[in-house]
C-alpha cells in the first residue's frame, strides 16, 4: 500500500491530489483543482500567464490537498507529477516543485504522461474500468483510440489527423460567438436545439472502410470545422435558432464519428468494456450515444465524472502508482516535455486478434 501525492500543471489547471492503495484497489483521499479563469479573457490559454499562475498556486493547492486528506508532507510516500505532454513552461512548475518536494521528503518521484493519466481516471470511480478495454481519450489537445490489453500495454489504433475533439468544440464555439472553453457551451446549445436543415458530413467515416485501412480508426475534425464556418458565413447574421441548429449538427457529426470508430475497435478486439476519458468525456450526448451503440454490442461504457474527466491530479497519482509498483522512479534530472510518446505502446509488429498485423498509429 502506497500513499501518493499527485501534481498536475500541464495546462490551465493547478491540481494536487492524494490517493492510497495498491494495484487496482485505490482510494481517493483528496483532490483540489484550481482552474485559471483568467484565460477566458483571451479566448484561449496564454502559456506565460498559465506558468506564472501555477507558480503562485502550486504551494497552496498542494497544501490544501494534504489538509483535506488530513496528512502532512511526512505522510507522503511518493510524488507523481505530469512531465508531458503540455505547455512546457506550465509543466516545468509542477516538475520542479514535485522534484524538490520528493527530494526534501526523501521519497521517490515518478513522471507521468498526461494522457496515461486520463486513461486511469475512470478506474478511480469504477472498479470495473480496468483492462482489457477499448479506450477513447478526447481532450483539448489529443484524440486517441486505444486498445488496452493491460495497464502499460497500449495499442494505438487511431488518432486525429488535425484538430483534437476538444479543440474542435472550442473552435466551433468561437465561430458561434460562445465563450472559452467552448465544449460545455456548445453542448448546452446543441442539446436544446434541433439541427433543422443542417447536416454535416461525418468526417472520415465511410461504410467501405476496412480494418487495416489507414482511415479505419483515425479521425479528422478540421473539415467539420470548415463546414461550420461556411454555415455561419452562409447565415450572415446568426439568429439564436440558427446558432443552435449549427451547434447541434456539429455535435451530431462529431459524436457519431467518435462512437462509430470506438464501436469498430471494441468489436474488432472483442472488448466488453469501453472507457472514456478527457474533457470531452464530460459531454453527456457523447456518453449517451456511446452507451446506446456499445450497449447494443454487449459492451459496458465507463465515463468519469466531470471532475475526473477534465485535468486533475488524482489521475496522475493513479497512473504514477502503477509505475511505482513496477519499480520505476525518476532520476533527479527528470525534465518536462511539450510532446512525449505514450509509454507502453505495443509494437506495430505484434499480432492482434482477427486480422494480422497492427499498423503503427500516429501520435
Ligand atoms: O482534458 P481536458 O480538461 O484538458 C486537456 O488535456 O486538453 O479537456 C479540455 C477540453 C476543452 O477543449 C473543452 O472544451 C472540452 O474538453 N470539454 C467539452 C465539454 N467539457 C469540456 N467538450 C464537449 N462537451 C463538454 N461538455
Ligand atoms: Zn487533459
pLDDT tens, position by position, 285-324: 999 999 999 999 999 999 999 999 999 999 999 999 999 9
> Phi/psi of residue 13, each to 5°?
-120, 125
CA triplet 15, 149, 27: central angle to 5 degrees?
Answer: 35
The residue whose CB lies within 8 Å of the most ligand 1 atoms, and thus the one to mutate among 31, 35, 39, 279, is 279
Please say if the pLDDT value at position 356 is more than 60: no
Confidence of residue 348 (pLDDT cuts 50, 70, 90): low
Look at residue 249 and tell me whether its pLDDT is greater than 90: yes
- For residue 1, what pLDDT is reported? 82
User: Between 165-175 and 240-269, two packed helices, what is the crossing angle to 10 degrees?
Assistant: 170
Rounded-to-integer distance, Cα 343 and Cα 339, Å:
12
Q: Which has more confidence, 351 or 166? A: 166
Q: Is the dihedral of CA 183, 189, 191, 196 positive or negative?
A: negative
User: Percent of the chain having pLDDT more than 90?
Assistant: 94
- H helices present in 39-133, as ranges: 47-68, 88-105, 114-121
Q: Report the alpha-carbon distance of residue 21 to residue 114 in Å, rounded.
A: 21
Give residue-wise pLDDT tens across range 78-116.
Answer: 999 999 999 999 999 999 999 999 999 999 999 999 999
| SS3 (DSSP) at 306 | helix
| Alpha carbon distances (Å) from 4 to 43, 72, 89 | 35, 12, 24
Question: What is the rounded CA–CA span in Å between residue 235 and residue 232?
Answer: 5
pLDDT at 355: 43
Rounded to the nearest whole angstrom, what is the distance from the C-alpha of residue 120 to the centroid of ligand 2?
12
Sequence-ordered list of residues with C-beta below 8 angstroms from that of 140, at least 6 positions apart, any chain: 11, 164, 166, 167, 170, 181, 278, 279
| pLDDT average, residue stretch 24-52 | 95
Give yes or no for residue 251 CB within 6 A of ligand 1: no
Mean pLDDT on 181-194: 97
* Residue from 169, 172, 192 to probe ligand 1 pocket by mutation (most atoms less than 8 Å from CB): 169
**Residue 43 pLDDT > 70:** yes
Amino acid at each position: 500500500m502506497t500513499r501518493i501525492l499527485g501534481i498536475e500543471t500541464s495546462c490551465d489547471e493547478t491540481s494536487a491530489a492524494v490517493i492510497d492503495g495498491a494495484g487496482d484497489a485505490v482510494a481517493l483521499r483528496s483532490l483540489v483543482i484550481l482552474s485559471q479563469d483568467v484565460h477566458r479573457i483571451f479566448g484561449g490559454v496564454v502559456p506565460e500567464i498559465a506558468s506564472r499562475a501555477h507558480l503562485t498556486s502550486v504551494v497552496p493547492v498542494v497544501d490544501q490537498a494534504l489538509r483535506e486528506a488530513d496528512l502532512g508532507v511526512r505522510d507522503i510516500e511518493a510524488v507523481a507529477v505530469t512531465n508531458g505532454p503540455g505547455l512546457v513552461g506550465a509543466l516545468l512548475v509542477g516538475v520542479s516543485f514535485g522534484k524538490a518536494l520528493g527530494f526534501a521528503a526523501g521519497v521517490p518521484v515518478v513522471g507521468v504522461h498526461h494522457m496515461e493519466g486520463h486513461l486511469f481516471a475512470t478506474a478511480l470511480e469504477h472498479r470495473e474500468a480496468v483492462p482489457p478495454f477499448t479506450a477513447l481519450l478526447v481532450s483539448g489537445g489529443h484524440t486517441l483510440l486505444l486498445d488496452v490489453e493491460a495497464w502499460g500495454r497500449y495499442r494505438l489504433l487511431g488518432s486525429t489527423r488535425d484538430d483534437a475533439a476538444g479543440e474542435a468544440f472550442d473552435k466551433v464555439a468561437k465561430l458561434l460567438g460562445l465563450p472559452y472553453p467552448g465544449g460545455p457551451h456548445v453542448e448546452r446549445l446543441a442539446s436544446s436545439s434541433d439541427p433543422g436543415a443542417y447536416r454535416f458530413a461525418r468526417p472520415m467515416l465511410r461504410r467501405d472502410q476496412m480494418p487495416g485501412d489507414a482511415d479505419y480508426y483515425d479521425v479528422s475534425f478540421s473539415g467539420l470545422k470548415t463546414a461550420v464556418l461556411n454555415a455561419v458565413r452562409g447565415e450572415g447574421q446568426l439568429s439564436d435558432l440558427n446558432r443552435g441548429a449549427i451547434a447541434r449538427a456539429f455535435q451530431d457529426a462529431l459524436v457519431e464519428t467518435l462512437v462509430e470508430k470506438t464501436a469498430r475497435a471494441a468489436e474488432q478486439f472483442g472488448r466488453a468494456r469501453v472507457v472514456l476519458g478527457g474533457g470531452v468525456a464530460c459531454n453527456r450526448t457523447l456518453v449517451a450515444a456511446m452507451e446506446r451503440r456499445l450497449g447494443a454490442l454487449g459492451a459496458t461504457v465507463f465515463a468519469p465524472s466531470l471532475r475526473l474527466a477534465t485535468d486533475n491530479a488524482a489521475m496522475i497519482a493513479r497512473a504514477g502508482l502503477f509505475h511505482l509498483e513496477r519499480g520505476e522512479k525518476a532520476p533527479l534530472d527528470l525534465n518536462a516535455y511539450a510532446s512525449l510518446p505514450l509509454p507502453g505502446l505495443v509494437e506495430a509488429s505484434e499480432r492482434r486478434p482477427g486480422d494480422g498485423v497492427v499498423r503503427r498509429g500516429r501520435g
